[in-house]
Amino acid sequence: MQTYTWFIAKRFFAHSGQTRRVSRPAIQIATAGVALGVAIMLLSVFVVLGFKREIQGKITGFSGHIQIVNYETLRSAEAQPIVVDDSLISTLESIPGVGHVQRFCTKTGMLKTDEAFSGVSFRGVGPEYDTLFLHRHLTQGCIPHFSDTASTGQMLLSETLARRLSLGVGDRVFAYFFEKNVRARRFTVAGIYRTNLTDFDNNLAFVDLAAVHSLLSWDSQQYAGAEVVLKDFGQLEQVSSRIVQRINRSQDAYGAYYTSPTIRELYPVIFNWLDLLNMDVLVILVLMVCVAGFTMVSGLLIIILERTNFIGVMKALGASNRPLRHIFLYFAAFIILRGLVVGNALAFLLAVLQKRFSLIHLDPETYYMDTVPLHIDWSYVLIINLSMLLLCMLALLLPSYIVSRIEPARSIRFE
């Protein structure tokens, strides 16, 4: 059975829009404060999650989540060979959390046309390479059929390099590699991609694994390494620990030691920058909670002040301070819940519009993407709503004690 405090609070809330006194704008302002606060909080979290997800996706698309490489590679400007045979791949794929393993080789060189030239890092990948990431960012042409047995002479070039060298799909270009002797290879541009991740777009081209492997003059089972793609990025540390136990510090047939740096260890600056975004979001969340709490406290004080006469009558009839406080706290909870509903509706409406129509654009040179990314995580939605409700209610506990200071004899005559 509902108590009379709950009943009275519902009656107050149901008729709050009909009052012509000062409480009506106070209730509207309090509702708007909560709605604005929760909307900004949700959108901030959606943007940061989307931004981190997009950047992480692009980096791991180029390098995988964990790389198995020669230990000497970490201390050398050029990649050193390591044996990546079927046995190693099977071992890696059997580790819980590993989704896919793919070989790669790298070789620096130069692309030259009649008008321009540019240094390029050629990344050789085989038929097992997951091209979903490249398909997602392909702007022209098609993805080559990468081979590990014979070079097809096809190349996937970034839009930045293609523009710099004035190359288009179907154009042929010579690549030069400098060691003791200059070696030349001719490639045909099969496709052009753009990720807006400038550190990679400025100097990375994809070719056949066989093409790069032949330039390195390594044995048939030796490669620059293997990329390990995980099923869940959130399991990075756990899977990395399992790989370290199984692979690290072991030697291949040529005496090279295996090591397994994670994507966070390979690109610490980028991931440290992404981690700093968490602090920005925390500041926004604290500010919005303060705004919502302040408006609710102000609104509650105004509501209590306006109903001083009611409080006096209730006390004269024998009501104690505690149930009277509960009436106004229930009333405030109804206002907060209405604000949460409005704020959530506003946040999701703006999020859907942004995801569908890309209303807000960014400078890709600065932000590595051309539109504001959004990612909705329902666990964060639940946490933000519950936290807002709880913190606002806690903030209202102290102001609600003003009820106990109201004296029936004086408050009944209060106007």
Q: Which residue has the tokens 């931004």?
A: 51
Closest C-alpha to 60, from 99, 6, 111: 99
This prediction has a pTM of 0.86
Residue 335: count of CB within 10 angstroms of its CB: 25
Residue 25 corresponds to which amino acid? P
Residues 240 and 294 both lie in one domain? no
Domain final position from 261, 286, 302: 261
Residues 235 and 279 both lie in one domain? no
Residues 92 and 224 both lie in one domain? yes
Residues 92 and 44 both lie in one domain? no
Residues 204 and 303 both lie in one domain? no
Q: Tell me the C-alpha distance between 247 and 240, whole Å.
A: 10
Domain final position from 234, 261, 288: 261
Residues 192 and 275 both lie in one domain? no
Q: Do residues 194 and 158 lie in contact, with contact meaning Cβ atoms separated by under 8 Å?
A: yes
Residue-by-residue pLDDT tens, the chain, 415 positions: 346 788 877 877 777 655 545 567 888 888 999 999 999 999 999 999 999 999 999 999 999 999 999 999 988 888 999 999 999 999 999 999 999 999 999 999 999 998 899 999 999 999 999 999 999 999 999 999 999 999 999 999 999 999 999 999 999 999 999 887 899 999 999 999 999 998 899 999 999 999 999 999 899 899 999 999 999 999 999 999 999 999 998 999 999 999 999 999 999 999 998 888 888 888 988 999 998 999 999 888 888 877 777 777 777 777 888 888 888 888 889 999 999 999 999 999 999 999 999 999 998 888 889 899 999 999 999 999 999 999 999 999 888 888 777 766 565 555 5
Domain final position from 211, 242, 261: 261
Q: Tell me the C-alpha distance between 238 and 97, whole Å.
A: 8
Residues 50 and 88 both lie in one domain? no
Residues 218 and 300 both lie in one domain? no
Residues 186 and 326 both lie in one domain? no
Residues 73 and 54 both lie in one domain? no
Residues 28 and 74 both lie in one domain? no
| DSSP string over 277-298 | HHHHHHHHHHHHHHHHHHHHHH
Sign for the pseudo-dihedral over CA of 278, 279, 282, 287: negative
Total count of domains within the chain: 2
Alpha helix locations (H) across 202-267? 209-216, 236-246, 263-266
Closest C-alpha to 118, from 171, 170, 157: 157
Residues 251 and 275 both lie in one domain? no
Q: Tell me the C-alpha distance between 265 and 247, whole Å.
A: 17
Domain residue limits at 222: 66-261
Q: Tell me the C-alpha distance between 124 and 151, whole Å.
A: 10
Q: Do residues 329 and 393 lie in contact, with contact meaning Cβ atoms separated by under 8 Å?
A: yes
Q: Which residues lie across from 206 on neighbouring strands? A: 123, 156
Backbone angles phi, psi at 391, to 5 degrees: -65, -40
